[in-house]
Amino acid sequence: MEQLIALVPALPLLSAALVHLFADRLGRQVARLSVAFATTTLILIVVILVAELTGHGPGQFALADGVGILVSDPLSALMGLLIAGISTIVHIYSVRYMAEEAGYARFFVLLDLMAATLLVMVAAGDLLTLLVAWHLVGVLLYFLLGHDTRSIGAYRYAFWTFFTYRIGDAALVLAAALLVYAYGTWSLAEIFQRIDQDTVAQTVFGFAVPEAVGWLLALAAFARSAQFLLHTWLPYTMDGPTPVSALMHAGIVNAGGFLVNRFAPVFVHAGDVLHGLFIVGLITAVIGSVLMLTQNDVKKSLGYSTMGQMGFMTMECGVGAFSLAIYHLIAHGLFKGALFLGAGGVIGAARKDDGVPKDHLYTFVVERRPARLRQPWIVMAMLTLAIPIVILVVAHWLVAQDFFQKQGAIVLLFFGWITGAQLIFATYRMRTQNVRRLLGLIVFSFTIIVLGYAAISHIFDLFLYPEAAFRDRIYAAAGFDVVWFDVLVVLVTCIIVLGWLGTYYSERNGKRRGDRPGRLWMSFYALVSREFYLTDVYGWASRAILNAASRLNVWLRWA
């Protein structure tokens, strides 16, 4: 097992070296060499994951005493499978997609180096290895995004990404320094063990070390996972090659969720940090979803969609559902990676012919024409509110009866209820000859999805955190005061229910149709369409930094 752990990142490194050495001799055939190594790496990761599932792990490989440690555990095996799987698909896709681009061999060298670095990052068993890999991911991403050296936009936004990542890197370095100072070791396993044994936590600037480290880790996760105010790099990196956009979902933009799970023993002692994760994730999810709706570029829209999904992932960490966040980032990485790889073909086909039949669904979605014949609004409103919550409660009760004893579970149920109700509401607005059949199909599909999600998330919970006591400690750390929690849930529920009832009533009486938007609405739309002016502010800041650096170079006569 130890040899396999070291071989997994070694194969992409060897591939990068061979592609560089034989690029002139083999020409474009070096891409096939890179694909072969990527496929072999994926097979090795599958072997390691099977070993973890059958109870033959965890294993460990160390270059030296206390540093250069690579571990094989459930988290590293799952993340490694995601990285190797998407990397293999991206390698195969790039063989033809990048064929006409300059620097063909250089692109595959960078792909291999990125895959190796990501695999080291998720398997790192000590702080030094984690820091090196974490930093190199940002450096390699800068070169991949700026692969087309003739594109000014690609270079500019690659610099934005590099600068934003340095903020998160600085926070992670400070967190590592605090941990080494407080516990005297680089090994993550030893640090976590000493944190649990430390009944009186050491303090720094009045904060307990786990809490201070938790805030720094949260900032590192925010920068890497495009949380609000540190998000602008993500939607604007779409000028880079399409395969790079897909690869970013293999462990780069998802790295925030991985980091929180890797340091779960720290966050158990930092409940306030988890509350901060929930708030920042909620804001990011809402703003990312809103900005997605105002984009007219498909790749940029996908970028803001990813921002919203990363917000949901951070929220899940904030309520203590750490394993659910891993399930979310894996499912989202596979789904969004496929969308990015297909975006180019969709754009090309749409330029010739949209190919969309002008049926009732097209009329509703594109032209926004509501149906003329409606079911009784009060009946549909009650069905909208009742059906999703019944499905969610029954599905989770079948999987885990103690699920409802955790506050985080209630929050997740709440958002699931909103999603299901919104789906049924959209059904009500559509024109169809048989509303009952359409509603029945949607309820059936929603039930299957919820049952699958509940079962798989529970399996992930048992696989990643087999100790029930530790899972309970995570949820307990994320808990709010019971009184305020109940008041908040009831208040938000009432607001949403009244909003849905009002919307149903307005739709039924046609009050929204033909109304011109008011000044307040147009001002809000203008604000959203300009992306809250954050890109303008960051553009000015980046220009100021570059100008200051140029003047400093001249003043010091460095250039």
pLDDT at residue 249, as a whole number: 74
Residue 197: pLDDT over 70: yes
d(C-alpha 423, C-alpha 416), whole Å: 11
% the chain with pLDDT above 70:
75
Q: What is the pLDDT of residues 249-288, one digit of tens each?
A: 767 898 999 999 999 999 999 989 999 998 999 899 889 8
Lowest mean pLDDT among 229-233, 320-324, 373-377, 535-539: 373-377
Lowest mean pLDDT among 139-143, 440-444, 460-464: 440-444
d(C-alpha 88, C-alpha 42), whole Å: 7
> For residue 38, what are the CA distances in angstroms to 43, 149, 308?
9, 26, 30
Pick the closest to residue 64 from 170, 186, 176 (CA basis): 186
More confident residue, 380 or 29: 29
Residue 61: pLDDT over 90: no
Summarize the confidence of residues 23-35 as an average pLDDT.
89
Q: How many CA atoms lie within 13 A of 326 on its CB side?
A: 30
H or E stretch including 4?
helix 2-26
Res. 486 pLDDT band, cuts 50 70 90? low
Contact 223, 231 (CB under 8 A): no
d(C-alpha 91, C-alpha 472), whole Å: 41
d(C-alpha 532, C-alpha 130), whole Å: 35
> For residue 115, what are the CA distances in angstroms to 14, 111, 352?
12, 6, 36
pLDDT at residue 439, as a whole number: 67
Summarize the confidence of residues 129-140 as an average pLDDT.
95
Q: Which of 48-57, 135-144, 232-241, 425-434 has the highest mean pLDDT?
A: 135-144
- Reading the block at residue 10, the tokens are 């070694």
Q: What is the gyration radius of the CA atoms in the chain, in angstroms?
A: 25
Residue 241: pLDDT over 90: no
pLDDT at residue 192, as a whole number: 93
Lowest mean pLDDT among 150-154, 239-243, 353-357: 353-357
Q: What is the pLDDT of residues 91-112, one digit of tens each?
A: 999 999 888 888 899 999 999 9
Q: Which DSSP string do the residues of 455-492 spell out, in sequence order?
A: HHHHHHHHHH---HHHHHHHHHHTPPPHHHHHHHHHHH
d(C-alpha 188, C-alpha 243), whole Å: 33
- Reading the block at residue 532, the tokens are 């809250």
Summarize the confidence of residues 130-149 as an average pLDDT.
92
Pick the closest to residue 382 from 424, 414, 411 (CA basis): 424
Residue 363: pLDDT over 80: no
Residue 136: is it exposed, middle or buried by C-beta count within 10 angstroms (0-12/13-18/19+)?
A: middle
Q: What is the pTM of this model?
A: 0.84
Residue 345: pLDDT over 60: yes
d(C-alpha 379, C-alpha 385), whole Å: 10
d(C-alpha 313, C-alpha 291), whole Å: 18
Q: What is the pLDDT of residues 292-309, one digit of tens each?
A: 888 877 778 888 989 988
Q: What is the pLDDT of residues 169-196, one digit of tens each?
A: 999 999 999 999 989 899 999 999 999 8
pLDDT at residue 236, as a whole number: 83
Res. 34 pLDDT band, cuts 50 70 90? very high
Contact 497, 425 (CB under 8 A): no
Summarize the confidence of residues 456-468 as an average pLDDT.
87
At CA 511, angle to CA 509 and CA 514, rounded to 5? 130
More confident residue, 420 or 223: 223
Res. 513 pLDDT band, cuts 50 70 90? very low
Residue 414: pLDDT over 70: no
Summarize the confidence of residues 304-320 as an average pLDDT.
90
Helices and strands, counts by H and E, the chain: 22, 4
Res. 63 pLDDT band, cuts 50 70 90? confident
Lowest mean pLDDT among 116-125, 159-168, 417-426: 417-426
d(C-alpha 181, C-alpha 519), whole Å: 56
Res. 368 pLDDT band, cuts 50 70 90? very low
Provide the 8-state DSSP code for 126: B
Summarize the confidence of residues 330-343 as an average pLDDT.
84
Neighbouring CB atoms inside 10 A of 120's CB total 23
pLDDT at residue 438, as a whole number: 63
Q: How far is CA 193 from the centre of its chain?
A: 29
Residue 113: is it exposed, middle or buried by C-beta count within 10 angstroms (0-12/13-18/19+)?
A: buried
Lowest mean pLDDT among 106-120, 454-468, 480-494: 480-494
Contact 59, 72 (CB under 8 A): yes
Residue 514: pLDDT over 50: no
Q: Which DSSP string do the residues of 344-369 spell out, in sequence order?
A: HHHHHHHHH------SHHHHHHTT--
Residues, the chain: 559
Residue type, 296: N
For the chain, the average pLDDT equals: 81
